[in-house]
Amino acid sequence: MAEAATVEELVAAARDARVRARATYSNFPVGAAVRCADGRIFQGCNIENASLGLTMCAERVALFSAVAAGCHHITAIAIAGPGSDPLSPCGACRQVMLELAPDADVILAGDEEHRVYTVADLLPDAFGVADLGDSAE
């Protein structure tokens, strides 16, 4: 489980990223922040597109940014949406977390509280690389 200081720092970074969201169509800004094992933090925000299928969630922006910068071990991710209640990630983001950050703590934050989960908590009985068998080699 992430240390309290790590949790607070990541929640603050996710809330900071949220203000840069391009939520032109939904008016639902989301921010995310991931921590790499080496201590680096990468932020992401949702970026919407008129062709809604091309919209990218904050979680995936942050995760992809970390991987693109050479982070190979993500230890935690915080997600902050609007409102007082913690925001839970969509299924696509959960699947990407399983692949890129399977052992990470996942901190779901609202304006008033946060909750900490594991990726396995959020995606039980997941389909992952091990399920691909020989085709994954």
Active site residues: 59
Angstrom distance (rounded) from CA 11 to CA 126: 26
Tokens read off for 16: 């900071």
Look up residue 81 and give its two tokens: 């949406």
**Contact yes or no for 18/58 (Cβ under 8 A):** yes
Paired tokens of 137:
């080699």
Which residues on neighbouring strands pair with residue 43, listed in sequence order? 33
Closest CA to 97 of 124, 59, 130, 127: 59
Residue type, 12: A
The pair of three-digit structure tokens given for residue 63, joined into one six-digit string: 């995760």
Q: What are phi and psi of 75, to 5 degrees?
A: -100, -25
